[in-house]
Amino acid sequence: NGDAANPACSGIEGVLEAYHRSLRRVQLYGPTNFAPVVNHVARSAAAVLDGSQYFVLLIITDGVISDMAQTKEAIVN
């Protein structure tokens, strides 16, 4: 949602709103390292043990991933 201190979105509407807002604000440039973001979201999701929340990680990229091996490993983990 653009707020690093509180990155949660509420429902699909919140996810779509964050997506549309990011299209207007994000400027793509490298290097692009996704593994840290994937790992951060995975840790947040793992902390919710009762299944009361779901997590969506939307990755917007220009197609160049600088840490492909680490990103693949993070996704598999």
Please report the pLDDT score of residue 19 as a whole number.
87
For the whole prediction, is pTM greater than 0.75?
Answer: no
Which of 70, 65, 71, 68 is CA-nearest to residue 31? 65
In a structure prediction context, what are the per-residue pLDDT tens digits for the chain, which is 77 residues long? Answer: 778 788 888 888 998 998 898 888 888 777 889 999 999 999 989 999 998 888 888 787 777 889 999 999 999 99
**Contact at 8 Å (CB) between 66 and 32?**
yes
Per-residue confidence (pLDDT) for residue 47, from 0 to 100? 92
| pLDDT value for 3 | 81
